[in-house]
Structure 1
Amino acid sequence: MKILIVAGPFVSLREPYNGGTEAFIVEHANELVRLGHTVDVIAKDADEKNLFQVIEFAESPLSMKDNSYRPCTEERGQQHYQSLQYGAFDVSSYDVIHYNSYIPEIYAIGALFKTPGVLTLHLPPTERFILMYKFFIKHAPVVPIGISGRMSEQWGTFLGRDVEVILNGIPIERWKLNTRNAEGYLLWSGRIAKEKNVEAAIQLANHLQKPLKIVGAIFDEAYFRDYVLPQLNERIEYISHVTQQQLSKIVAGASAFLATATWEEPFGLSTVEMLASGLPIVGFNTAIPPELRDKKVSIAVDSHDWRDLIEPLAIAKNAEPEACRAFAASFDLAKSTAAYVKVYERIAKKPKK
């Protein structure tokens, strides 16, 4: 099949990834190519090692800044210009279009196309995305897909229809299985923002007098300045944003991974990556979806109180690396991609209206 995957014309697919969506797009596209499909991805750029072709939309040589009629910065103006180029792009040769974008203009234009599509719902419903996706699904021949049971349930309520579930996956073999390091440091990884709640991990580490390494891009500068930076010291360390290979090396010295987000994680690729590396997970129910929970290797508590993680952390200390990896194997990339291919084949058989 010939498949077009839409990330966004100003979305970079280079490591370190901006988030789980970018990681999913890259790994899924590469796996599709390995299966013999032709895959193009609309994005700003990607690492040269990838197997798929990147379709780039250029910025305008003219200024896109507007201080009067529709005030916007040069950057935002160029983003609008690039997004609208999708309307001039010929999609007729593709069997399926797979949407993974958060850009309104993409969906406004995509609603005009008759090529069958898949829309992966990577984020929980918000007012903006509900309106955007309801409009798109009403006008385009597209099938929505939830990346976890709770995403399917939440979106099904707002879309007024059943939403299929295809759980995310990772290339398990790429994550090195580490030997047991029960006395190692605690590890937290994710974007630095209030809803990710790295504060809870810091409070837990301070209470236990254990080292903590914090990894991730700073999305909220004020939050980092006020709630994270003042607590950094020789024991509480911020490492910044890293590639998957760099993260794998950091994981090797850890004893457990802390998942402390107070918002409902749609899936949690980082949780699977840590488990694949042999590292047990301890965290809040909001941070660990039901599919990723296990009483021994991925323990979730119905709480947002860091104190409630003390006992589960003691249990996780006994988790064997092999058991962690065995649980992670349920979320292998090949399984996820195969499920998407079945959907592609099903919708591609339907005649175009």
Structure 2
Amino acid sequence: MRIAVLTHMVHPVRSPYSGGLEMHTAMTVTRLVRAGHDVTVYARRGTEFDVPVEVVPVLPAEGHADEASRDAGAADACARVLDSDAEAVLNNSLSRQPLLRLRDLPMLTVLHTPPTIEPVLAVLDEPGWTAPNHHRWASVSAANALAWRHRLPQTDVVPNGIELHRWRSDALPVPGRAVWTGRITQEKGLHLALDAARMAGMELHFAGPLSDPAYFEREIRPRLGAGTRYHGHLDHRRLPDLLATGEVYLATPLWAEPFGLATVEAMAMGVPVAALLTGAMGEIVPQQAGELAVHHTAEALADAAGRARGRDRAAVLAWACGFDADTMVAGYEELLVEARQALAVPVR
């Protein structure tokens, strides 16, 4: 199948990834190419993959792209897709433009966020708007699908997956160490993890891109000191060695987390999880893999960490093995085939 992949235009897709969406796009494209599909990716310049794939740059690699620039880039990408020989579209863009411009093409839109992106909601909420019969929608979790249900006619659930074979390390757990990874922004809750680790009598080692410098200076730097270490922005060759040293992983989303890739990566290392119960955390962190904090407080998270750190690491790993990238992409392939078939069937 000739597949056009539309990416989120905030960052280039390359390692070390700026966030879970960039890593997700890389995994998906790699597997589609290896499955024999002809894939063209529309992205920011500087996007790189480990497989031979055509990348069509629609925005510069460097510099901040504001919402208007990203919208224009997505519109340009859609125009190029319409001029191409693409047979189907995988929409990973979080943009309104594919919904407006690609109604005539078979398309799968992956719902990576709750229904909070105003330009997208403005399209869906337009009086008289209906989803084309040959469009499909896949949410990364059941919790996120439920949030979209009143706007979209049918939303399938295709849980995110990871490349399980990459999450291996010879490093051993360090007694008394908690770990945290992710984008360093307010909604990811690193400040809460630092407070909880200190209350639990544990050190906290953390890593991730400094996506919000003002937040770091306001909330994180004052909390640094003895028992804390920032490892910088690690790529996926070095992250496993950090995660493996944790007795427990602290997952602290302060928004309706649609999935939690970083949490699954930790569990794939056998690291038990203590998580705030928000968004999809209740789906991806069962009792065999960790504990859910009863309140969104550092005290409750510290208590959950104390209980989670004793979980059997082999049981945690066994649970994480259900989140496999191959299974995820097979789900996308099935929905793309459905979308193509629906285009050939007249709507009665």
TM-score range for the pair, normalised by the shorter chain length: 0.7 to 0.9
What displacement does 1:90 show?
A: 4.3
Distance of aligned partners of 1:52 and 1:280 in 2 relative to their CA distance in 1, 3 Å threshold: farther
For normalisation by structure 2, the TM-score amounts to 0.87
Amino acid at match of 1:85: D
For each residue in 1:295-333, what CA deviation from the matched residue of structure 2 results, as whole angstroms up to 9, or x when unmatched? 132321231012123333233222233222110011111
Amino acid at match of 1:118: L
For normalisation by structure 1, the TM-score amounts to 0.86
What displacement does 1:103 show?
A: 3.2
What displacement does 1:153 show?
A: 0.5
Counterpart of 2:274 in structure 1 is: 282
Report 1:96-135 matches (<5 A): 96-111=88-103, 114-126=104-116, 128=118, 129-134=120-125
d(CA) in 2 for partners of 1:327, 1:310: 23
d(CA) in 2 for partners of 1:277, 1:238: 20
d(CA) in 1 for partners of 2:297, 2:50: 42
Counterpart of 2:325 in structure 1 is: 333
d(CA) in 2 for partners of 1:29, 1:293: 27
SS of 1:263's equivalent in the other structure is: coil
Distance of aligned partners of 1:48 and 1:99 in 2 relative to their CA distance in 1, 3 Å threshold: closer
What displacement does 1:345 show?
A: 1.3
Alignment length (residue pairs) = 337
Would the aligned equivalents of 1:57 and 1:82 in 2 still touch at CA under 8 Å?
yes
SS of 1:349's equivalent in the other structure is: helix
What displacement does 1:17 show?
A: 1.5
Report the identity percentage.
Answer: 25
What displacement does 1:197 show?
A: 1.4
Counterpart of 1:148 in structure 2 is: 141
Would the aligned equivalents of 2:71 and 2:95 in 1 still touch at CA under 8 Å?
no
Report 1:260-275 matches (<5 A): 260-275=252-267
| Greater Cα offset, 163-172 or 209-218 | 209-218
What displacement does 1:220 show?
A: 2.4
Amino acid at match of 1:146: S
Distance of aligned partners of 1:30 and 1:309 in 2 relative to their CA distance in 1, 3 Å threshold: same
Counterpart of 2:19 in structure 1 is: 19
Would the aligned equivalents of 2:247 and 2:309 in 1 still touch at CA under 8 Å?
yes
d(CA) in 1 for partners of 2:179, 2:51: 29
Distance of aligned partners of 1:270 and 1:178 in 2 relative to their CA distance in 1, 3 Å threshold: farther
Would the aligned equivalents of 2:160 and 2:323 in 1 still touch at CA under 8 Å?
yes
SS of 2:219's equivalent in the other structure is: helix
Distance of aligned partners of 1:341 and 1:88 in 2 relative to their CA distance in 1, 3 Å threshold: closer
Question: Which of 146, 150, 153 is the equivalent residue of 1:157?
Answer: 150
d(CA) in 2 for partners of 1:10, 1:280: 32
What displacement does 1:344 show?
A: 1.2
Counterpart of 2:79 in structure 1 is: 88
Q: Which runs of 4+ in 1 moved over 6 A?
A: 73-77
Q: For structure 2, which runs of at least 5 residues remain unmatched after alignment?
A: none
Amino acid at match of 1:186: A
What displacement does 1:289 show?
A: 2.5
Counterpart of 2:50 in structure 1 is: 49
SS of 2:50's equivalent in the other structure is: coil
d(CA) in 2 for partners of 1:90, 1:196: 34
Would the aligned equivalents of 2:290 and 2:311 in 1 still touch at CA under 8 Å?
no
For each residue in 1:112-164, what CA deviation from the matched residue of structure 2 results, as whole angstroms up to 9, or x when unmatched? xx1100011100112603224556973654211111001110001233x2311
d(CA) in 2 for partners of 1:314, 1:74: 42
d(CA) in 1 for partners of 2:335, 2:183: 31
What displacement does 1:181 show?
A: 1.7
Would the aligned equivalents of 1:275 and 1:281 in 2 still touch at CA under 8 Å?
yes
Counterpart of 1:247 in structure 2 is: 239
Amino acid at match of 2:85: S
Amino acid at match of 1:303: H
For each residue in 1:189-239, what CA deviation from the matched residue of structure 2 results, as whole angstroms up to 9, or x when unmatched? 122222211121111122233211121222322221111111111322222
Distance of aligned partners of 1:90 and 1:236 in 2 relative to their CA distance in 1, 3 Å threshold: closer
| Greater Cα offset, 122-131 or 132-141 | 132-141
Counterpart of 1:347 in structure 2 is: 339
Distance of aligned partners of 1:81 and 1:314 in 2 relative to their CA distance in 1, 3 Å threshold: closer
Counterpart of 1:3 in structure 2 is: 3
SS of 1:12's equivalent in the other structure is: coil
d(CA) in 1 for partners of 2:166, 2:65: 39
Would the aligned equivalents of 2:41 and 2:55 in 1 still touch at CA under 8 Å?
yes
Question: Which of 303, 308, 313 is the equivalent residue of 1:321?
Answer: 313
- What CA RMSD, in Å, does the superposition of the two structures yield over aligned residues? 2.6
d(CA) in 1 for partners of 2:201, 2:123: 47
Distance of aligned partners of 1:133 and 1:5 in 2 relative to their CA distance in 1, 3 Å threshold: farther
Counterpart of 1:28 in structure 2 is: 28
Distance of aligned partners of 1:137 and 1:38 in 2 relative to their CA distance in 1, 3 Å threshold: farther
What displacement does 1:291 show?
A: 2.2
